[in-house]
Chains A and B, each alone.
Chain A
Amino acid sequence: MAKRIDVSHLNVYYSNFLAVEDVTLAVEPKAVTAFIGPSGCGKSTVLRTLNRMHEVTPGARIEGKIMLDHEDIYGADIDPVNVRSTIGMVFQKPNPFPTMSIYGNVVAGIKLKKRTKRSELDDVVEASLRGANLWEEVKDRLDRPGSVLSGGQQQRLCIARAIAIQPQVLLMDEPCSALDPISTLAIEELIHELKQRYTIVIVTHNMQQAARVSDTTAFFNIAGTGKPGKLIEMNTTANIFSSPTEKATEDYISGRFG
C-alpha cells in the first residue's frame, strides 16, 4: 500500500533565489527516510516540494521531477489538493486548529473535504487516535479544544489528524524539536509503528534520533550563505553513521561542524 517517491534533478527556487540544487534521491516504501544537515541547507524546502506545499509560498517553484510510484505528482493532470491528501504532513510546531475540539481536529481533513456519516467518523477518530498512541489519554475529553493538551499530546494529535485522511506517505518536519524527551520517545515509537503502514520522511536535527528511527539517511549541506543547498550523500542509516564516504558528512555527524 505504501508508495515510494523518486526525486530526480530537483531545483527549488524562491523567486530568483536558488535554494536547493540538483537533488536526486529515492524514498523507499514502508521505511523511514531521515533528512539531516545544517540549518538553512534546504531540508524543509525539499520536504515541502514532496507534497507541493511549497506552492503556497508566493514565488516558490521547482524544476525537475518527483514521482510517487508511477505518477508524476507535478504532471499536467494532477491536482495539488489531491496530492496533499495522499501525502500527509506534520509540522515542527504542534498546530492543532484552536477553534476545533480534539474530535474536530482529527476529522478536519475528512470533513473539510467531503460529508461523512457520524458513525464512520467516530470509527476513524478512534482508529487515528489509537494509531497516534493518544486514544487512552484523550478518549474522555474528545470535545475539549485541542489546546488543552500538552505539547507532546498536541503533536500526536497532529499526527492523528494527518493519518486520518489515509495518506500513503507521511512527511514530518522536525516533529520532535518542540517536545520533551518523553514525548519525543513516544513519537519515535509511534514512527516505528507507523512505518509498518506508511512511507515516512522525517527532517531532524538530532543525530541520535536519525540513527534511532530511520532506515535511510540523506545528508544535505550548503557551501555558504547565498549558495544553494545540495544532497551530499544518501545511504542506509547504518552506513552513513559508521562509514560515510564524504568528509563533510563525517564532520557533520561527529559534531565537528554545523
Chain B
Amino acid sequence: MAILDRTISDDELHNLLSQRKLPRWTTLATCATAIAGSALLSFISPVSGVAGTAVFAFLLFIVLQTGLSFAVEGKRYAIDRLATTLLLSALTAALVPLVSILLTVLVRGLNAFNANFLTSTMRNVSPRRPGGGILHALIGTLEQVAIAAAIGIPLGILAAVYLVEYGNRSRLARTISFFVDVMTGIPSIVAGLFVYTGFILTLGLQRSGLAAGISLSILMIPVVVRSTEEMLRLVPRDLREASYALGVPKYRTILRVVIPSASTGIITGAMLAVARVTGETAPLLLTTFLTQSINTNPFNGPQASLPTYVWDQISSGTTASIDRAWAGALTLILLVMILNLSARLIARASRVK
C-alpha cells in the first residue's frame, strides 16, 4: 500500500501542477528567426531559390521551436508543438490544391458565367461564338442525379440495414459486404458499360436519362452502403434494447430509433455519394450521350448533362467554347455545393434541439 502513499510538500505540489509555458510571442519570434536564418543561408549555401529557402525556413522553424519548447516546457509540450506544427502543415498542404482548383475554376469560369448562361441552351449556337448556355445540361444533370439518388440511396440504406441488423455476419452478409467493397473500386466507365450492354443492348432500353441514372446509381450504392453501415454500427446497443423493452417490434425500432439516431451520418454519406456521381462523365457518354437542346423527359432520347457539356465544349476547342466549359465546371461545383449545404440544413433542422 505504501506505493500509493505519496506525501507531497507545497513546492512539490506546485511543480506537479504547474507547467512552464513559452509566451505567445515566441512562436512569431521563432518564425521570424527561421525565415531570417534561412534567407541568410541562401547567400552562402547551395540552397537557393524561393522554394528551397522556404523549405529550409520551415525545417529550421520546426527544429528551433521543438528545441526551445523541450528546453523550457518539457517533453510533452515539445511533442505537442511538433505534432501541431506538422498537422497544420499537412492541413495546409491538403488545402493548397483545393483552394487553387476552386480559384482557377472561379476566375476562368466567370468569363462566360451569367444569368443568360444559366437560362439558355446551346441550340443553334455555333461553337465559335460566345453566348449560349447550360440550361439543358442543368436540367439533364438534375434529373439523372435525382433518378440515381432515388434508386441508389434507398437500396444502399436497405442493404446496410440488412448487413447490420439482420445479417449477423452470415455467409450472405459477408458476401454482400465483400462485393460492396469491390464495387467501391470499379471504374465508372464499367458501370456505364454494364448499363449499356445489360439494359440498352440486351433489354432494348433507349439511351436516355433513365439509363444514365441507373449507371450513376450503381456508383452510388457502395458509398451509401458503407457509410450507412458504419453509422448504424455506432448506434449503441442500449438504445435498441431500450426500445425492444418497450415492446416495440424490431422493424419499428430500426425505423424510429436506430435510423434517426444515425441520420446525420447517413445523410452525409448519401450527400457524398451524390456529389461523387454528379461529376461523372464516362458512364453518361455510353448511356445517354448528349444533345444541345432541352429534353425534359428522362425516359426518352438523349439528354444533356453538366459533365458531358464540359467535355463537349472542351472538344470544340474554340475560345468561346472553352470559356463555356469553365463556366460549366463552375456551375457543377456550385450545384454540388448547394446540394451539400441544403442536406446539412435539412439534417440540422430535423435534429432535436
Tell me which residues across on chain B come within 8 A of A77, comparing CB atoms.
Answer: 18-21
Report yes or no: A166 in contact with B13, Cβ–Cβ below 8 A: no
Within 8 A of B (CB), among A100-135: 123-124, 127-128, 130-131
Stretch at the interface among B1-9, B170-178, B208-216: B1-9
Interface residues on B, range: 10 to 19
Point out the residue from B5, B14, B17, B76 that lies within 8 Å of A197, measured CB to CB.
B5
Q: Does A34 contact B (CB under 8 A)?
A: no
Q: Does A68 contact B (CB under 8 A)?
A: yes
Report yes or no: B6 in contact with A131, Cβ–Cβ below 8 A: no
Could you tell me the distance between the alpha carbons of A164 and B3 in the complex, rounded to whole angstroms?
A: 9
CB of B129 to closest CB in A, whole Å: 56
CB of B81 to closest CB in A, whole Å: 14
Point out the residue from B3, B16, B19, B21 that lies within 8 Å of A86, measured CB to CB.
B16
Tell me which residues across on chain B come within 8 A of A69, comparing CB atoms.
Answer: 10, 13
Within 8 A of A (CB), among B1-39: 1-8, 10, 13-14, 16-21
Report yes or no: B13 in contact with A82, Cβ–Cβ below 8 A: no
A124-B3, A127-B1, A127-B3 known; A79+B8 contact, CB < 8 A: no
Report yes or no: B16 in contact with A163, Cβ–Cβ below 8 A: no
Report yes or no: A82 in contact with B4, Cβ–Cβ below 8 A: no
Report yes or no: B10 in contact with A79, Cβ–Cβ below 8 A: no
Report yes or no: A78 in contact with B18, Cβ–Cβ below 8 A: yes
A3-B13, A69-B13, A71-B13 known; A128+B4 contact, CB < 8 A: yes
Tell me which residues across on chain B come within 8 A of A73, comparing CB atoms.
Answer: 17
Could you tell me the distance between the alpha carbons of A127 and B16 in the complex, rounded to whole angstroms?
A: 22
Report yes or no: B1 in contact with A130, Cβ–Cβ below 8 A: yes
Tell me which residues across on chain B come within 8 A of A3, comparing CB atoms.
Answer: 13
Report yes or no: A71 in contact with B5, Cβ–Cβ below 8 A: no
A3-B13, A69-B10 known; A123+B19 contact, CB < 8 A: no
Report yes or no: B1 in contact with A83, Cβ–Cβ below 8 A: no
A1-B8, A68-B13 known; A123+B3 contact, CB < 8 A: yes
Most chain B C-beta atoms within 10 Å of own C-beta, residue among A70, A79, A81: A79
CB of B338 to closest CB in A, whole Å: 29
Q: 8 extra interchain contacts, Cβ-Cβ under 8 A, other than A82-B17, A86-B13, A127-B2? A: A69-B10, A71-B14, A71-B17, A71-B18, A75-B18, A127-B3, A128-B4, A131-B1
**Residues on B facing A (Cβ under 8 Å):** 1-8, 10, 13-14, 16-21, 76
**Residues on A facing B (Cβ under 8 Å):** 1, 3, 68-71, 73, 75, 77-79, 81-83, 86, 123-124, 127-128, 130-131, 163-164, 166, 168, 197
